[in-house]
């Protein structure tokens, strides 16, 4: 016999970066709250996204330092990379973060964690296993999964995704990465530094399509200087496995666009974007509208077209970052519980690409500002002119800021350099507080910091 429907004040589907704090906040406010999670508490970021990748990237950076140490007079008598140990450290960090999340949920009164995948059975009901759950307030934080492009032959080869590569048992001899976005760049450089030969294949005309050309080119240049091969404007026409006697290093064969020939590879990583996990939710049973790509449509306060049903994080489309999902939680909870009137409209969307050096980004690019017809000036300072960078020997990249000619407000910035994300955040704070570029130009910063060179960045506008 089917058990009777359980009634809750609120149901949160998915324990991602927005769903988990939201469920806790609602429960602490006295609402009987169910958090439905089909896999691991903490979602993508903690289990297969930011946390594991940034942990492994830190180890790969260490390997690169050791590799480059002799150039700085530090002798290293050979070195090796123990992938198993790197993965074990990654797993221990992930487990620690996930366990902390689980403990936090267990310690929250009025909150029940329900393990299993939820799908809608009616306008305000979801089924998990045999049990139906009902609430007037439902929050969908079910995230995305790696999108696999329709490359002929792809289903016949054992391709890797950003999830499966995290536990790969061997360092690939030759890793071909499909894509030229965040995951491709971070993973490509990570495995190059661990010892793989790496080739990136991007179908667009540049890496990181959203960025300005000078940033794209500087990024490509330092990746190529490390020995990563980059194919732009290239499509894979077909991928196949060599016959079974081929050496493991050449297990795969990729036919490229006419003119680019073919490539052999030991491993293929698909990093061509992410798709929303809406199909398994059966949103048609609630009437919640999606866009043409399956992302949930929301208004500026994150409510869907069905009153009482909200979506937060990657599944609603737009910028897909942990801090955005978390900010979605802030907006929803403050509006519902504190009667605030917060909105996602015009919020800041900072991000950092964790290549080495990093790309820290905030606000408009130069091309976006020009497309909007804004009167702008652009300040550029190569990292070779940054005292701190010269001293530490990390002179790759550039600082760039876009300012409004009349108001002197900073409209956007790209800091491609060591700790670029941290330096970008200084400018983000200035933008949030309305601090103009001439104030930063003349401000006292501690010497010798990377951020100190923001003086010099804006001094370039004097010339
Ligand atoms: C390799 C990689 C690296 C990344 N690095 C960064 C980074 O450095 N910085 C950054 O800001 N962002 C990064 N991101 C993006 C970031 O991980 C996501 O934007 C972030 O996790 C927000 O996700 P979310 O809150 O929307 O949902 P998610 O974290 O994806 O969580 C969704 C949860 O819902 C569960 N779920 C799905 N469907 C159901 C269902 N029907 N029933 C029950 N549960 C369900 C899933 O199991 C999952 O736990 C990275 C992503 C990847 C893949
Ligand atoms: N540091 C971070 O904040 C960080 C790190 C990793 C991931 N993320 C998030 O995860 C999301 C997904 O990352 P991603 O790198 O998979 O997606 P992406 O959208 O950033 O990049 C995908 C790239 O693949 C290319 N592409 C698509 N189909 C292709 C094909 N058939 N052949 C060759 N190239 C193809 C696209 O042109 C694009 O450049 C990002 O948008 C980002 O929001 C963030």
- Provide the pLDDT for residue 243: 60
CATH number at residue 408: 3.30.390.30
Q: For residues 263 and 293, state if they share a domain.
A: no
Last residue of a domain, one of 311, 338, 365: 338
Print the SS3 string covering the chain: CCCCCEECCEEEECCCCCHHHHHHHHHHCCCCEEEEECCCCCHHHHHHCHHHHHHHHHHHHHHHHHHHHHHHCCCCCCCCCCHHHHHHHHHHHHHHHHHHHHHHHHCCCCEEEEECCEEEEECCEEEECCEEEECCEEEECCCEEECCCCCCCHHHCCCECCCHHHHCCCCCCEEEEECCCHHHHHHHHHHHHHCCEEEEECCCCCCCCCCCHHHHHHHHHHHHHCCCEEECCCCEEEEEECCCCCCHHHCEEEEECCCCCEEEECEEEECCCEEECCHHHCHHHCCCCECCCCCECCCCCCECCCCCEEECHHHHCCCCCHHHHHHHHHHHHHHHHCCCCCCCCCCCCCEEECCCCEEEEEECCHHHHHHCCCCEEEEEEEHHHCHHHHHHCCCCCEEEEEEECCCCCEEEEEEEECCHHHHHHHHHHHHHHCCCHHHHHHCCCCCCCCHHHHHHHHHHHHC
Tell me what pLDDT residue 242 has: 74
Q: Which of 282, 293, 323, 447 is catalytic?
A: 447
Asked if residue 347 belongs to a domain, the reply is no
Q: Is residue 352 part of a domain?
A: no
Residue 314 alpha carbon to ligand 1 centre in Å: 7
Q: Is residue 345 part of a domain?
A: no
Do 130 and 221 belong together in one domain? no
- The reported pLDDT for the residue numbered 296 is 98
Domain end, chosen from 247, 272, 297, is at 272
- For the annotated binding site for FAD, the residues are 54, 118, 314
Task: Indicate whether 238 belongs to any domain.
Answer: yes
Considering every ligand atom shown, identify the ligand nearest to the alpha carbon of residue 20 and give its number.
1
443 in any annotated domain: yes
pLDDT digits (tens, 9 = 90+) for 426-462: 999 999 999 999 999 999 999 999 999 999 999 999 9
**Is 159 found in the same domain as 116?**
no
The low-confidence residues of the chain, meaning pLDDT below 50, are: none
Domain that holds residue 46: 6-145+275-338
Do 138 and 279 sit in the same domain of this protein? yes
Residues 305 and 219 in one domain: no
Q: What's the structural domain count of the chain?
A: 3
The reply to whether 53 and 173 lie within a common domain is no
Task: Point out the domain boundary residue: 338, 367, 389.
Answer: 338
Q: Is the CB of 181 under 6 A from ligand 1?
A: no
Pocket test for ligand 2, best of 160, 272, 325 (most atoms within 8 A of CB): 272
Q: Are residues 304 and 325 in the same domain?
A: yes
List the residue whose alpha carbon is closest to atom 19 of ligand 1. 321
Q: Measured from the CA of 50, which atom of ligand 1 is nearest?
A: 5
268 plus 317 within the same structural domain: no
* Residues 11 and 116 both lie in one domain: yes
| d(CA 72, ligand 2 centre) in Å | 35
CB of 220 shorter than 6 A to ligand 1: no
> Which ligand neighbours the alpha carbon of 210 most closely?
2
- Atom 43 (ligand 2) nearest CA: 320
| Most ligand 2 atoms within 8 A of CB, residue of 154, 159, 178, 179 to mutate | 179
Pocket of ligand 2 (CB under 6 A): 149, 151, 178-184, 186, 201-204, 209, 235, 271-274, 320-321, 351-354
1 assigned to some structural domain = no
Catalytic residue at 133? Answer: no
Same domain? For 166 and 128 the reply is no
* Ligand 1 centroid distance, CA of 118 (Å): 16
- 100-123: pLDDT as tens digits: 999 999 999 999 999 999 999 999
* CATH number of the domain enclosing 55: 3.50.50.60
State the ligand closest to the CA atom of 139: 1
Residues 220 and 134 in one domain: no
Q: Are residues 318 and 410 part of one domain? A: no
Q: Where is the binding site for NAD(+), in residues?
A: 179-186, 202, 273
Note the pTM of the prediction, 2 decimals.
Answer: 0.97
Q: What is the ipTM of this complex?
A: 0.98
Answer whether residue 346 is part of any domain: no
Is residue 120 lining ligand 1, measured as CB closer than 6 Å?
A: no
Residue 48 lies inside a defined structural domain of this protein: yes
């Amino acid at each position: 016999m089917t058990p009777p429907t359980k009634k809750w004040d609120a149901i949160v589907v998915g324990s991602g970066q927005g769903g988990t704090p939201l469920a806790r906040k609602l429960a602490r406010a006295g609402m009987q709250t169910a958090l439905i999670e089909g896999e691991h508490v903490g979602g993508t970021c903690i289990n297969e996204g930011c946390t594991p990748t940034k942990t492994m990237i830190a180890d790969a950076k260490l390997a690169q330092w050791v590799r480059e140490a002799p150039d700085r007079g530090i002798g290293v008598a050979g070195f090796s990379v123990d992938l198993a140990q790197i993965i074990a450290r990654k797993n221990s960090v992930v487990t620690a973060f996930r366990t902390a999340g689980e403990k936090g949920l267990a310690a929250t009164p009025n909150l029940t964690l329900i393990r299993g995948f939820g799908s809608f059975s009616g306008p305000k009901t979801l089924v998990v296993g045999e049990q139906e759950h009902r609430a007037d307030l439902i929050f969908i934080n079910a995230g995305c999964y790696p999108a696999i492009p329709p490359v002929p032959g792809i289903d016949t080869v054992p391709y890797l995704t950003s999830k499966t590569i995290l536990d790969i048992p061997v360092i690939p001899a030759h890793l071909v990465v499909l894509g030229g976005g965040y995951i491709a760049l971070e993973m490509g450089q990570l495995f190059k530094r661990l010892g793989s030969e790496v080739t990136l294949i991007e179908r667009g005309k540049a890496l990181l399509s959203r960025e300005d050309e000078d940033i794209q080119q500087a990024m490509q240049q330092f990746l190529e200087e490390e020995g990563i091969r980059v194919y732009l404007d290239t499509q894979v026409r077909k991928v196949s496995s060599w016959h079974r006697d081929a050496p493991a290093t050449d297990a795969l064969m990729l036919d490229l666009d006419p003119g680019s020939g073919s490539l052999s590879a030991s491993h293929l990583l698909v990093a061509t974007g992410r798709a929303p996990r809406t199909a398994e939710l059966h949103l048609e049973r609630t009437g919640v509208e999606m866009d043409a790509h399956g992302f949930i449509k929301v208004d500026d306060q994150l409510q869907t077209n069905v009153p009482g049903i909200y979506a937060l994080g990657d599944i609603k489309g737009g910028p897909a970052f942990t801090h955005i999902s978390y900010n979605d939680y802030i907006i929803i909870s403050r509006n519902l519980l504190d009667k605030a009137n917060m909105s996602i409209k015009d919020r800041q969307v900072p991000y950092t690409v964790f290549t080495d050096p990093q790309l820290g980004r905030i606000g408009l690019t130069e091309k976006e500002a020009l497309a909007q017809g804004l009167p702008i000036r652009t300040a550029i300072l190569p990292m070779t002119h940054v005292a701190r960078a010269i001293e530490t020997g990390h002179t790759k990249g550039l600082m760039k800021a876009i300012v409004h000619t009349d108001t002197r407000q900073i409209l956007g910035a790209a800091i491609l350099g060591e700790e670029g994300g941290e330096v970008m955040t200084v400018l983000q704070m200035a933008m949030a507080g309305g601090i103009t570029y001439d104030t930063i130009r003349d401000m006292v910063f501690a010497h010798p910091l990377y951020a100190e060179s923001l003086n010099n960045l804006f001094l370039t506008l004097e010339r």
